[in-house]
Amino acid sequence: MSQLSREEVDDASFIERSRREPEAFAEVFRRHAPDITRYVTRRLGDGVAEDVVAETFLVAFRQRAGYELTRPNARPWLYGIATHLMSRHVRTEVRQLRILERRGVDPVTQSFAERSDERVSAEASRRSLAGALATLPRGHRDALLLVAWGGLTYQEVAEALNVRLGTVRSRVNRARHRLRQELGGINPMATVSEESVHE
C-alpha cells in the first residue's frame, strides 16, 4: 500500500476539509467518540453521557472555523468542550460519587457488567476515592480525571482547560495529595481551595 498522506493522519486536515465539506467532520467523530464517550460515561453515567457527547461534537462542528490548524491532534480541544459541557452536570456527578461513598453502590456503573471479584477487594478504597473526588474543587477534579481517565498529558490538559501548564501541575498534585490523605484514612478537615499557580 502507499504511504499515508498527512491528510489521512491528522485531525486538523479533516477539520480544515470539513469547513468546505461538512461531512468530513464525521471522521473526527469516528476517531474520538469512543474515548470521549467512555470518559464522559465514567464521570456521569451513560444516561447523561449520550447527550453530552452528542453536544460535544455538535459544538465542535459549529466551532470548527475557529480551530487552530497548527494543532494536529484535536483531542485536547474535544475534551475541553466535553469538560465544559459536563460542568452543567456537576451536581449529578457529585451526588453519584456521594452515593458510592456512603452506600458502596455506584450508580454510574450499575448498568454495566460487574466484575465482582475485583470489586470486593477494592471496596473500601473505591468508597474513599469517591468521597475524595466529590470534595475536590471542580477544576482540580477536571485536571486529575483528564489525566487518570482521559489519558491526556499535562500539556494536553492545559490546552483542554485553557489554563497554564503550571496550573495543571498544581491542580493534579493537590488532587493527588487529597486522594492519598483520604486513602490513608487521615481525613483532613480542610478542603483544598481552588487556586492557580503561575509559572
Interaction between residue 106 and another protein (CB under 8 A): yes
Relative orientation angle of helices 46-62 and 75-86, to the nearest 10 degrees:
120
Helices (H), 2-122: 6-9, 11-20, 25-44, 46-62, 75-86, 90-103, 116-121
Q: Which of 15, 48, 80, 146 binds another protein (CB under 8 A)?
A: 80
Q: Which of 155, 162, 187, 191 binds another protein (CB under 8 A)?
A: 162
Nearer to another protein, 30 or 102 (CB): 30
Total residues in contact with another protein, by rule CB under 8 A: 55
- Out of 94, 99, 134, 183, which residue is the one contacting another protein (CB under 8 A)? 183
Question: How many CA atoms within 13 Å lie on the side-chain side of 30?
Answer: 9
187 touches 72 (CB < 8 A): no
Is residue 192 close enough to count as binding another protein by CB under 8 A? Answer: no
| Residue among 48, 78, 81, 168 that touches another protein (CB under 8 A) | 81
Cβ pair 156, 76 in contact under 8 A: yes
Contact of 81 with 66, CB cutoff 8 Å: no
Closer by beta carbon to another protein, 10 or else 50: 50
> Contact at 8 Å (CB) between 104 and 126?
yes
Q: Does 179 bind another protein (CB under 8 A)?
A: yes
Options 6-14, 49-57, 67-75, 185-193: segment touching another protein (CB under 8 A):
49-57
Q: Enumerate binding residues for another protein (CB under 8 A).
A: 19-20, 22-23, 25-26, 29-30, 33-35, 37-38, 41-42, 50, 53-54, 57-59, 61-63, 65-66, 80-81, 84, 106, 108-109, 112-115, 118, 122, 125-126, 129-130, 139, 144, 148-149, 161-163, 176, 179-180, 183, 196, 198
